[in-house]
Amino acid sequence: MIPDKSIPAAERLIVALDVPQAEAARALVEQLGDAVQFYKVGLELFMAGGYFELINWLVARRKKVFVDLKFFDVPETVCAAVRALATSGASFATVHGNQAIMEAAVRGRGDGGALKILAVTVLTSLDRGDLDDLGFDCDVEKLVLSRARRALLAGVDGIVSSGLEAPLIRRELGEKLLVVTPGIRPVDNKPADDQKRTVDVAQAFRNGADYIVIGRPIRQAADPRAAALAVQRTIAEVFA
């Protein structure tokens, strides 16, 4: 199923700025120009310094920002952290924890703010064998759906989920949650990396994703801007 078309097509691609320094992130954003409107900033940049200055820089250029720090801590600490982030101009932030932690993130976000909270279900770098190692006695699909249902009860705005599980989420929960799908690998990309549960661009949206996150296939392309534009053309065709 194709999700709600009210989201501007050009904003459905989120490029992951998984680079070692804020200066490299700015250079990539400048190179991509108007080909990309939405960026994810995660742990690598957080540890590099200049993280919040980078968020301010992106927001000042009218880019949307996805803060992917996967908040996981004592609920009141998560609440306070999200409350502080809510004034930054970021559009999305991730939380990865139990019911109390998700509810705390929602409290910190407050009512009527622009920041949307996304609950991580199962990382796309994990497969059945990894879940066995972690002690989960169920298959990936059941775990993702269970976490999605709990996220909905907690009042979060959406979830982060592989495109492989998106059809199940849509079938069971409809349009009640935003679905953001990482682990996207264009057809001509060789997935020789740590992502295991992947889909391509068109399939992600046909499976029910609202947004996709792409990092290496754009960042490491010979021409990152051309790679981003190719993804945007595919998205435009899906939502035509």
- Annotated active-site positions, please? 70
- Cα separation of 92 and 181, whole Å? 13
- Cα separation of 167 and 208, whole Å? 6
C-alpha triplet 104, 126, 95: angle, nearest 5°? 10
Judge whether 104 and 78 are in contact, CB under 8 Å: yes
109, burial (CB in 10 Å: exposed 0-12, middle 13-18, buried 19+): buried
- Torsion angle of alpha carbons 90, 86, 176, 238, nearest 10°? -10
C-alpha triplet 4, 112, 34: angle, nearest 5°? 55
Q: Which SS3 state, helix, strand or coil, does residue 209 take? A: coil
74-88 in b/e form (b: 16+ CB < 10 A) is ebeebbebbbebbeb
